[in-house]
Structure formats: C-alpha cells, structure tokens
Structure 1
Amino acid sequence: MKTTFVFAHPWHGSFNKAILDTAVKKLEEQGKEYHIIDLHKENFDPVLREEDLALYSKGDTTDPQVKEYQEILKDTEELIFIFPIWWYDLPAMLKGFIDKVMLKDFSYIETKTGLQGLLTHIKKAKVITTSESPSWYLVLFGGNVIKKAFIKATLKGVGVKDVQWINSSYTTSGSNEKRNSFLKKIDRIFS
C-alpha cells in the first residue's frame, strides 16, 4: 500500500515535523512505500489565480505542480494529512492545496444529487493535527471544522471515507512528556 503524506507546516523544527518523522520512520522500518508532499518546502502556490479559475470548471489548471500532485494521489492508497490547527481551521496552504488539486473530473464529478467522489482508491486516511486548544473545545466551540467540514464534507466529497482524526492538544504550552507521549501514540498507530 502506497502512503502519501501531505505536510503543511512551514518550520521543520516544529512538533508537526516530529510527527511526520515518527510516522515515516515506522513506514521505513516496515519497508513500506511512501511519498511526502511538503507544501512549504516545495514552494506550492496555494493561491487560485484568475488563469486557473478560468479553467476550473473544466477540471484543468495552469500549475504544473498541481498535475504532479494529482499523479501522486492517483497512486495513493493511504493519505495522511499533518498540519497545525490555526484559528480553528486548516492552514491557508492546505486549503489552497484542496482548492487547486481536488479538481473536477480528477477528484469528483457533479451529479444531480451532489458530488460523487473519484478518489475511492484511497482506502483510508488520517488527519493528524496539533492545536493549543483541547480537542473537546475544538469540537464544542470551534464549530468542529476538522471533523465536520474537512473530513465529513471535503474528504468524503472526493471519495475518501475511512478517515481517522488524531489531535495533539496543548502542543505549545504542554510538557515535553505530553508531546513525547503523543509521538509514542503516532508510533503505535503506524506499527
């Protein structure tokens, strides 16, 4: 099974990068294939520009990086998103990735009853996030953007249905012990 990571954090000294490194190490130990889409290090342009919007309804783009990412996703069976929750939402870089890469006729088609997802070859996904707020607060007061909008609407809309959300709360203010405990959890999840 080929795993693809979509990593959306600008700093490689971050806890998000430690999460990515932990997961990748487990896959390497198991001899599994993986690919990392590191949106910041690859200088992905998340802005949907006028020339792209002109092609949007046709499911096309002028951005060669979008086409490259689509080719990677075509060969993906497990999709892992790793990102911080900022302002109770996805980072702009990841939102731009969704806007530009998940195009019509690649990730979905429109039907009379709504979207029909085309990425059904992706058998499972994990959304691994970090936040300063506790997970219960994100669910209760943050409107639960991650679970309701990103997982149950966006990912489901493109055909990705078996999705697990794992969040590290109090990531900045918490103790090293708490962060290390979370990394052990990630280690177990990828075992």
Structure 2
Amino acid sequence: MMKTTIVFAHPWHGSFNKAILETITKKLDASSNNYQIIDLNKDSFNPVLEEKDLAQYSKGKTTDRLVLSYQETLKDTSELIFIFPVWWYDIPAILKGFIDKVMLKNFSYVETKYGLKGMLTHINKTTVITTSEYPTWYLKFLSGNPIKGIFINKTLKGVGLKNIKWLNSEYTTTGKIERRKKFLQKVESIF
C-alpha cells in the first residue's frame, strides 16, 4: 500500500517546523491517510559520506542500514513532504546528507547516454515546506535560487519527482504570531 512520507529535518521539537509537522499529521489522521515520518534528527541520521560510503557510492550501494530503511520507505511512497528550515540560504546539512546518501544510483536515478534519468516516478506529488527569516521573493532572487532553482528543479526533479509545490513561512522567528497561524491554516488547507 502506497503512503505519504514526511521527511522532517529540524532538531528542536519545540520549533515552528514541528508545529507544521503536527498540523499535517493531524489532518492526515482525520482523513485516515496512511503516512510515515522520517525524522532525520530523531533517527540520529549521520549525513556525512564517510570513506566506507564512498567505496560503495559509484556502485549505487551502501552499508548504512538506516539508508536502506529510508529507501524501503520511499519505495512505498506515493506522496512526499519535506519540512525544514532554510539556514544560510540553503537546506540543512542533515537533509543534504539524506539526499547524498539515500538518493543513490540505480535507486533514484540511472545514468543514460543523455544524462540522468529519475526513477522515483511512482511518487505522484511532492510538497516542500520551509521556514525562513527571509521573504520568499528574496530566496527566489538569490543567485541560483537555492530552494526552487537547485533543490526542487535540479535535485528533486532529477530523481523523478513531479508535481512539486513549495510553501515558505516568511519571518518565522521575528514575525507576528498571526503570520504563523495563517501559514498553518494554509498548510492545513492543502492536505
């Protein structure tokens, strides 16, 4: 049975990211949708590619049992949700490590004569939810647009993900509580 998978990448469970996660899971529970959560920090996921990882990397293999578990989870996923903060105008290191270690050759892509071909095409919908201190227009303005231009349009689409929507909570820490409440309502309305 295909499920919704949420990849959560925030270390503090008192964060607004956690409030977003709870909003989504409550909505999924209410509609009896099957879902699973990959909580990278809670799982103590090691994002570092070590020498033993690199020895297997070009073969599309790993010795990391957690990576193998995540790959099995993604095989049963029809909808994927990423929740993370934008730090230093980019994705957190733990999420970058997830991409580096989990999205391996022959699992998420194959090499062809014309470049890479994504293999995660069974995932029909992807939502990227970020929190930042920056307005969304500013993140889009940055050179290379780190979230939309790189993470979404290059990385996620490169592994075959489609129907990707991006929501960004602006001024998350310094903004007014009403702004955060409206953002949670927006999140709830799309699930």
TM range, smaller chain: over 0.9
The aligned residue for residue 86 of structure 1 is 87
Residue aligning to 1:72: 73
Deviation at 1:143, TM superposition (A): 3.3
Match of 2:88, SS state, is coil
Contact 2:131/2:168 (8 A) holds in 1: yes
Residue identity matched to 2:56: L
Q: 2:154 aligned with 1:146, yes or no?
A: no
| 2:5 matched residue in structure 1 | 4
Distance apart, 1:8 and its partner CA: 0.2
Work out whether 1:188 is the aligned partner of 2:162: no
Within-5 A mapping of 1:13-162: 13-141=14-142, 143-162=144-163
SS state at 1:77 partner: strand
Q: Distance in 1 between matches of 2:59 and 2:141?
A: 38
User: CA–CA distance in 1 between the matches of 2:83 and 2:115?
Assistant: 28
**Taking structure 1 as the reference length, what is the TM-score of the superposition?**
0.98
Note the residue ranges of structure 1 that are not aligned, 5 or more in a row.
none
Count, aligned residues: 190
Q: Return the offset for 1:62.
A: 1.0
Once the 2 structures are TM-superposed, how far is the Cα of residue 142 of structure 1 from its aligned partner? 5.3
Deviation track 1:156-180 (CA, whole Å, cap 9, x = no partner) reads 1110021000000000000111101
Task: Judge conservation of contact 2:8–2:37 (CA < 8 Å) in 1.
Answer: yes
Give the residue type in structure 2 aligned to 1:103. Answer: L
Name the amino acid aligned to 1:178. Answer: R
Tell me, in whole angstroms, the C-alpha distance in 2 between the residues paired with 1:141 and 1:57.
32
1 CA distance for matches of 2:12 and 2:122?
A: 31
What are the superposed Cα offsets for residues 136-164 of structure 1, whole Å, 9 maximum, x if unpaired?
01111353111111111111111002100
Distance 2:175 2:25 in 1: 24
CA RMSD of aligned residues (A): 0.8
Task: Give TM-score scaled by structure 2 length.
Answer: 0.98
**Structure 2 unaligned residues grouped into runs of 5+:** none
